[in-house]
Amino acid sequence: MSSTRSGQVYSESSSKAKVSYDIFTGDEISVKGFLSMGKDDVENGGTMKPAFLIRTLVKVYETLAKEEPAMRTHAAREIALLRNRR
């Protein structure tokens, strides 16, 4: 788990290293392991595409299943439902 300057905690993923910029300071930061939103994840009107939200929710349920073994069955069912909506 990692946290931002504001103290919000985010779960890390196992994705490849990525570099981005802090929107407040402009400093280059590593976002390795975090889900990030790219230009292809945003509609022309500025709204989030459903596919990005689904990927995020799948990651949440995967983390839940890993950290709370008692919730694995529930998480697996929710992941299956989300993946069938793509």
**pLDDT tens series, the chain, 86 aa:** 454 555 555 555 454 556 777 778 888 887 776 677 778 888 888 888 998 899 989 999 999 999 999 999 999 999 999 999 75
Identify whether residues 49 and 32 lie together within a single domain: no
Total domains present in the chain: 2
Identify whether residues 18 and 43 lie together within a single domain: no
Identify whether residues 26 and 10 lie together within a single domain: yes
Identify whether residues 42 and 13 lie together within a single domain: no
Identify whether residues 28 and 42 lie together within a single domain: no
> Which pTM was predicted?
0.58
**Range of 86's domain?**
37-86
Amino acid at 78: E
Distance, CA of 20 to CA of 63 (rounded, Å) = 23
Identify whether residues 77 and 65 lie together within a single domain: yes
Q: What is the DSSP letter of 24?
A: T
Distance, CA of 70 to CA of 57 (rounded, Å) = 18
Identify whether residues 49 and 27 lie together within a single domain: no
